[in-house]
Each structure stands twice: as structure tokens, then as C-alpha cells.
């Protein structure tokens, strides 16, 4: 798995128009915190108990049909790393993880979005 900083991931997506950007956060995070522009929502964990999504692999395979590269993003880069390892174990060949994720690492006050991450870097995002 490739590990890309947010700006590297953005450049990778521009250079590889067939790649698919998948946000693996929960639906609530995706909707209320915002998400990278054009990212598909396929939660790795979701629901009341934050269970592993039993349909995750199938949905990613469908989104990446014809062996499109997959770029995964989450809040901080941890869930997307685990989800990426799972995808590789199940046969996906070209998987990238966005380190620092959408919101980035915690700062000294335990807040996100002030140190690094997709939003911090000023990359395209939206809130729907």
C-alpha cells in the first residue's frame, strides 16, 4: 500500500483520473464534518456500535471495477490504513492511504484540523 500525504494524494488523483477516492468514515462524519470533493462514501465502520461494514469489500470492488486504483481517506489516516490492508488481503492490487486523513492529527489541545490533513492543506472539500 502506498501512503500519501494529502497534497500527494490530490496530485495522484489528478495524474490518475481513473483512480477512485473513497471516504471510509461513518456517514455522520462524512455529512456533518465534510469530505473531499468527489469522494465516494463507503464506510469501513458505521452504525450505532461502529461495526465493521460487512458490505465494504463488495462496494469497493464495485466502485473500483476494471481494476481502478483506490485511494482511501478517513479522519486521521488510521481507519483507512486498516481498511486498505483488508482490501489488499482480499486481492485489490493498487491501494493508497491518505496519511493524516481529512481532519489530521490532534494538536496540543486535542483538536483536529490545526496541524495537518486534507482540510488543513486547503484541498477541495465540501459539506453536504
User: CA angle 113-117-123, nearest 5°?
Assistant: 105
Measured CA distances, 84 to 33, 113, 126 (Å): 22, 23, 24
- Classified as helix, coil or strand, 52 is strand
Average pLDDT over every residue of 43-58: 91
Position 15 scores a pLDDT of: 98
pTM beyond 0.75: yes
Please give the backbone phi and psi of residue 113, each rounded to the nearest 5 degrees, phi first.
90, 5
Position 49 scores a pLDDT of: 85
Position 48 scores a pLDDT of: 81
pLDDT (tens digit, 9 = 90+) per residue, 3-49? 999 999 999 999 999 999 999 999 999 999 999 999 999 999 987 88
**Res 60 pLDDT > 90:** yes
Position 50 scores a pLDDT of: 86
Position 86 scores a pLDDT of: 97
Position 67 scores a pLDDT of: 84
Cα dihedral sign for 43, 45, 49, 54? Answer: positive
Where are the chain's structural domains? 2-92+100-122
Question: How many other CB atoms are there within 10 angstroms of residue 42's CB atom?
Answer: 24
Average pLDDT over every residue of 95-114: 96
Cα distance between residue 65 and residue 47, in whole Å: 26
List the CATH code of the domain at 2-92+100-122: 3.40.250.10
pLDDT confidence of 110, banded at 50, 70, 90? Answer: very high
pLDDT (tens digit, 9 = 90+) per residue, 63-101? 999 789 999 999 999 999 999 999 999 999 999 999 999
Amino acid at each position: 500500500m502506498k501512503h500519501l500525504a494529502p497534497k500527494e494524494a490530490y496530485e495522484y488523483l489528478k495524474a490518475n483520473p481513473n483512480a477512485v477516492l473513497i471516504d471510509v468514515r461513518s456517514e455522520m462524519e462524512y455529512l456533518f464534518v465534510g469530505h473531499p470533493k468527489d469522494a465516494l462514501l463507503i464506510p469501513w465502520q458505521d452504525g450505532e456500535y461502529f461495526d465493521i461494514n460487512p458490505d465494504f469489500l463488495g462496494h469497493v470492488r464495485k466502485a473500483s471495477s476494471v481494476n481502478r486504483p483506490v485511494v482511501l481517506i478517513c479522519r486521521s489516516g488510521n481507519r483507512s490504513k486498516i481498511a486498505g490492508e483488508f482490501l489488499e488481503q482480499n486481492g485489490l492490487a493498487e491501494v493508497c492511504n491518505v496519511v493524516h486523513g481529512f481532519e489530521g492529527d490532534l494538536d496540543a489541545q486535542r483538536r483536529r484540523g490545526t496541524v495537518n490533513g486534507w482540510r488543513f492543506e486547503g484541498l477541495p472539500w465540501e459539506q453536504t
